[in-house]
Amino acid sequence: MTMRRPELLFLLLLPASCGAAATTSLHLRGDLADASVTIDDQDVGTLRHVAKHGVALPPGQHRLTVEKQGYFSFDRLVEAKGQPITVDVKLDPVPD
């Protein structure tokens, strides 16, 4: 399910602690704090920001992408079903 409406971007930028009943809290863990995080092709900030504040996801399936120059991208589908989600992100360096 790919939504690219302003409503989705608004929901993605809500801190997970807002506790909206219809959303799922997504938190990330990883070592590359300045890596860029996108969800459903919408920029939601750095890995550090999402790890600290979380993201509120509307119900359904979402594509999570974490990228940093010099590393292979991390891609994962996550299913928002109401239960909090924590994803461990590991980016592997691109060999020289």
> What is the predicted pLDDT for the residue at 9?
47
What proportion of the chain, given as a percentage, has pLDDT over 90? 75
The structure's pTM equals 0.77
Instruction: Kindly give, in sequence order, each residue whose CB lies less than 8 Å from that of residue 10, ignoring residues fewer than 6 positions away.
Output: none
Question: What is the set of domains in the chain, with CATH numbers?
Answer: 6-88 (2.60.40)
pLDDT tens-place string over residues 36-67? 999 999 999 999 999 999 999 999 999 999 99
Residue 30 has pLDDT above 60, yes or no: yes
Which DSSP state fits 17? G
The reported pLDDT for the residue numbered 14 is 53
State the number of CA atoms in the 13 A half-sphere of 84 facing the CB: 11
Residue 13's pLDDT is 53
